[in-house]
Amino acid sequence: ITVEDSKNFNFEVEVVKGMRFDRGYISSYFVTNREKMVTEFDNPYILLLDRKLSTLPPILSLLEEVARSGSPLVVIADDVESDALTGLIFNNIKGLLKVAAVKSPGFGDRKKEMLEDIAALTGGEMISEQLGIKLDNVTLSMLGKAKRIVITKDHTTIVNDKGNPEIESHVNSRCQQIRQALKDASSEYEKEKLQERLAK
């Protein structure tokens, strides 16, 4: 359960199945539904980067592999900028690859933890040079997969495949880790942030 301030004077309840975080698309050029101004993908691959993406050459072969699969791709990174952003937008507009880019949720260590949460939910890996994974070595099998993803300008919602026992096991294990960290947390701020992660 996540409680947020309302943008009007009404009380509203919104049920979200899956994981939702407060980051939207980096560019409106990724929007698939202009009327609602949302990006909606079914069965997308998800690339989780613990860094900025500035150029496309390191992931060109990966992009080609995703394009051949016919599935869309969502890139979640610290930022997607300059040539990389231009290249992804170009591929999207030309219909070469259905793609969207979203900034990573959180900051610092919390960002890494949230990326690991998304990795558990989608069955993917967080791509981090600190973990010894170079960008040009990323393969399709390292990407996450979701049943559906909906991206607005403010939020991203990832709905996973409930029927996959391996993913359910990863999610349950991740929840246990968060519950243990919650027991060990010393500050109220830390407890609040851990409870937010558990709710998502």
How confident is the model over 58-82, as pLDDT tens digits? 999 999 999 999 999 999 999 999 9
Is the pLDDT at 96 greater than 70? The verdict is yes
CA–CA distances in Å: residue 170 to residues 103, 117, 124, 159, 166: 23, 9, 10, 15, 6
CB atoms within 10 A of CB 125: 19
Residue pair 122/145 in contact by the 8 Å Cβ criterion: yes
Structure confidence at residue 86 as a pLDDT band (50, 70, 90):
very high
- Cβ atoms of 20 and 155 within 8 Å: the answer is yes
In a domain, 10, yes or no: no
Query: CA-CA distances (angstroms) from residue 21 to 35, 112, 133, 155?
Result: 22, 14, 25, 6
CATH number of the domain that 118 lies in? Answer: 3.50.7.10
Instruction: Name, in order, each residue with C-beta under 8 angstroms of 24's C-beta and a sequence gap of 6 or more.
Output: 102, 151, 152, 153, 154, 155, 156
* 14 within a domain of the structure (yes/no): no
Q: How many domains does the chain have?
A: 1
Q: Percent of the chain scored above 90 by pLDDT?
A: 62
pLDDT bracket for residue 14 (50, 70, 90) = low
In a domain, 4, yes or no: no
Domain-embedded: residue 161 = yes
Q: Flag whether pLDDT at 115 surpasses 70.
A: yes
Residue 167 in any domain: the answer is yes
Alpha carbons within 13 angstroms on the beta-carbon side of residue 5 total 1
Q: Averaged over 85-91, what is the pLDDT?
A: 97
User: pLDDT confidence of 188, banded at 50, 70, 90?
Assistant: confident
169-197 average pLDDT score: 72
Residues spanned by the domain of 123: 19-199
Asked if the structure places residue 27 within a domain, the reply is yes
pLDDT for residue 128? 92
Q: Which of 28-32, 91-95, 99-103, 193-197 has the lowest mean pLDDT?
A: 193-197
Domain assignment present for residue 172? The answer is: yes
Between residues 16 and 152, the one the model is more confident about:
152
Dist. CA 104–CA 21, nearest whole Å: 9
Q: Is residue 11 one of the residues assigned to a domain?
A: no
pLDDT, position 1: 44
Its pTM stands at: 0.82
If one counts every other C-beta atom within 10 angstroms of the C-beta of residue 138, the result is: 19
pLDDT of 162? 65
